[in-house]
Chains A and B, each alone.
Chain A
Amino acid sequence: MTGRWNEPRGLLRPGPDSGYWLLVAFAGLLLIWSVAQTAVSGVHDVHAALAFGALIAFGELLRLNLPGDRQAAPVATAGALAYALLLRIGDDPVRPGPAQVIAVTALAMIVGALPHLAVGRPARLPAMSARLLAVACVAAAFRPLANAGLIGGRWWSELPVMLGLIIVAWFLESVVTALIRTDALRARFAVVLGDELRVQFPIAASTGASALLIAFAAEVMGLAAVAVFAAPLLVTQVALRRYAGIRATYLQTVRALARVTEIGGYVETGHSARVSRLSVAIGRELGMAEAALLELEYAALMHDIGQLSLRDPVPGGATVLVAREEQRRIAEYGAEVIQQARVLDSVADIVRRQSDPCRPANRAQPPPLSSRIIRAANAYDDLVGSSPDPARAAEAVARLRLDTASEYDPRVVDALSRLVIPA
């Protein structure tokens, strides 16, 4: 989100809070402990440590931004998991302790992250910490067993244990990330965890499979396997990067084009952006999942596109002030425009029903939650605009509350009031 936009008053973007620091501090302690432990007991098989360290650092260098302000480093995670699960190189057994695996992973991740810092990108400590934690958990569970020779000698006895641990790693990383995001986004944990597990699933699947391939291939090819079997994952990564790129461009373009109504003088500057931010915040407050939130954001951005059909702009663009029939026609026309894209039908539906009252008179189907949210957010913004005055915000919420019997959804107005009026 660019800073140029007027952020709705009262919608704080919470800075790093206690959960964030707890996680980073824990990861830091883990790093110090593991390095100290490894220094005391000495490094087991320096070549393997260096080879896997190089792969992890390289993977961290290639880390990937995913839709929804997420991050992944598939190659680094695969390398670290492979190192944690490594049994033999050629015919020789390999037995690094769990501390060594954690130390190599942590140090390599830091080395790989340095170039990002050097060019001024954010460090993304929580994402790195979550990844380290997942690897640490696998290493702590698997290494003692493997080093004691308790894992069988054939693939069908080794594989189930490894698969199980990789699933645990996927789950753990998602839980940690979800905890942090719940804090940062003011959302519900169960919803965020569901989103997280879903988004991470394809990445975790390819990462896990590659980790197993590398670990097993080391038996045949030696350390060359580290490089060779990271190749399939690189293909995956390139594809994921392109996907994330087009998703970002899409959102950016809709955000930009939604401003045509502002340039045309139909609505006040920043209106679409403010309504969409407020709507998304309300939706999150009400426990909507990510996919639904994205549709809500698109719909909120384009909710006024129907005004383009007006010959002359409504004064100040305030749709709350024009007649109900007129509002409905604007909404209908906007939905028609969006429907032409043929891929955003549910968004069109949200836009179409944005001007319907939340309890329709003739027992008709009430509009979808997203429409009710946009309706309230739009009305609120028409009344308050970009004004930073808290009294005006309270007044506007009070006015919306008066109409909760038929017009506005009381739950939505409650959520709105929690967001814009400081407790």
Chain B
Amino acid sequence: MDRLSRIAWLYIGAVIAAAVIVIAAGPFTMLHWKQVLALGLLLVACESAATLVNARGLAWSANTMASLAAVVLCGPVGAAVVSCGTLLGIRRGPSPLQRLFNTSMYVLSAYLAGRTFLAFGGHPGTPGPSAFPGLIGPFAAAAVVGVSVNFMLLNAVFWVTRDPGGGAGRVGLDFKLWVTDLGYGAFGVLIAALWSVLGPFTPVLVLVPVFVARWAVAQFAAQQRAYEATVSALCQAVETKDYYTRGHSERVSRGAVMIATEIGMRPERVGTIRYAGMLHDVGKLGVPTSVLQKRSSLTDDEYAAVQLHPMRGLDIVREIGFLDEALAGIMHHHERIDGRGYPMGLAGDEIPEFARVLAVADAFDAMTSDRSYRGARPVPEAVAELRKWAGKQFDPAFVDAFVAAIERDGWTAPEAAPAEEPLRTIESL
């Protein structure tokens, strides 16, 4: 956000001005200031625990929880005042201008949520036992309006500050996040409901499970990253055996993901095929180095040793529970559609889907990178080769998907290898 266009300035200015007007207009007669203060503190706590969603600076916090509780307890103006707590959130990241905009955005959405609550017949104030279940309808309407206004304002600011040359680019404001926001907003009614019993201690109790959940999610993300890094490091270690396949697993994995995304696979399956791509060649370790690096053609025995590698790979990864579907992919990635592949000689639809995807990505990367027996081929030539063998060696549907994906997103082939770099062995360390 360093250099803003005039439209961006206009938009941000308008949002801030609207928020100031809402707050200044009041009225403040109905507000219990202690309540506003307690909810404001809750909001500061939520804002301080914001998590970054993506690289464009979209962060997510559970603010709606506090502002919607304020809608029920203090009405629209109170909710707007409480939302000013956003300004005081203890977190690094947002610039003063971003903070100001965020605060104004929350003020506006909280105020409009409060107005909706009134319009649907809600009565602001501490609800007693008789308020339920009548309170639920107006609260739900307020929550939907509040979260939606927030999303529209945020989407608009991402739109007016987008990079002119950077294409559309998704900002990550999707339906899932909207529902998550709404879910956390529902905690607001719980806080409001308990206020008559527990007073300002309510937010503390409600926050504990929420924060533990967020801690667990953060731990999950950290473990996930660690996991990916570890798998990839171990795969690279396996590749050191054969200089020419360096980075091969990583690229096959990328290619397989491109195909899987192109044909609209479910995200969990795409995740699995990513690992399948990384691990598809671990069995190569069972093949003697001398065979892998041979520059002449292979003898029958040597060829048999190479043909065994998918099964060896399966031996290694069999124990990894979540990979079920990937196992079949790893085992069969050298089958051919016409039934002349190995190890089982399956044909057509008998070959598992993952294996057919991996076969295309694997062959393509093999063609576009250097091998001990020949140099790399350019991408268009490799594409032509894929098309030529579609229906014989490869599944034509996946070839089409891959070619479409490459034409749209491009393909980074490995850099050409220097003529005689020695294998990285213990001697060269």
Contact = CB atoms under 8 A, between A and B. Distances in A.
A246 interface: yes
A254 B232 CA distance: 11
Given A257-B234, A309-B426, A338-B233, A202 B216 contact: yes
B194 interface: yes
Given A216-B194, A243-B219, A246-B223, A263 B285 contact: yes
Contacts of A340: 229, 232-233, 236
A146 to B, nearest CB: 16
8 shortest interchain CB distances as A-B pairs: A209-B208, A239-B216, A343-B226, A264-B285, A206-B212, A341-B233, A206-B209, A340-B233
B209 A309 contact: no
Interface of B: 127-129, 132, 183, 186-187, 190, 193-194, 196-199, 201, 205-206, 208-210, 212-217, 219-220, 223-227, 229-234, 236-238, 240-241, 282-283, 285-286, 289, 312, 315-322, 423-426, 429
A332 B429 CA distance: 9
Contact of A243 (B220, B225, B226, B426): B220
A329 interface: yes
Contacts of B283: 263
Given A239-B220, A308-B241, A220 B193 contact: yes
A326 to B, nearest CB: 7
Nearest to A308: B237
Interface string A289-329: 00000000000001001001111100000000000001001
Contact of B209 (A233, A305, A332): A233
B207 to A, nearest CB: 8
Given A222-B129, A309-B240, A341-B232, A213 B190 contact: yes
A255 interface: yes
A197 B194 CA distance: 30
A405 interface: no
A259 interface: yes
8 contacts: A220-B132, A228-B190, A231-B186, A239-B217, A249-B227, A254-B234, A329-B429, A330-B426
B193 A217 contact: yes
Contacts of A90: 129
B285 A333 contact: no
Contacts of A305: 234, 237
Contact of A257 (B199, B220, B316): B316
Contact of A235 (B194, B210, B320): B210
A311 B127 CA distance: 76
A219 interface: yes
Contacts of A260: 234, 237-238, 282, 285, 316
Contacts of B285: 260, 263-264, 308
A256 interface: yes
B362 to A, nearest CB: 19
A249 B321 contact: yes
Contacts of B212: 202-203, 205-206, 236, 239
Contacts of A332: 429
Contacts of B205: 209, 212-213
A324 to B, nearest CB: 14
Contacts of B234: 254, 257, 260, 302, 305, 337, 341
B215 A250 contact: no
A330 B427 CA distance: 11
A91 B225 CA distance: 51
B302 to A, nearest CB: 16
A210 interface: yes
A159 interface: yes
Interface string A15-30: 0000000000000000
Contact of B319 (A256, A338, A344): A256
Contact of B196 (A203, A220, A309): A220
A214 B210 CA distance: 15
Contacts of A156: 201
A221 B129 contact: yes
B213 A219 contact: no
Nearest to A74: B209
Interface string A232-259: 1101101110110011111011111101
Contacts of B206: 209, 213, 232
A344 B227 CA distance: 10
Given A213-B205, A236-B212, A155 B198 contact: yes
Contacts of A309: 240, 424-426, 429
A265 interface: yes
Contact of B197 (A155, A232, A248, A338): A155
Contacts of A263: 282-283, 285-286, 312, 315-316
B46 to A, nearest CB: 14
Contacts of B426: 309-311, 326, 329-330, 333
Interface in A330-348: 330, 332-333, 337-338, 340-344
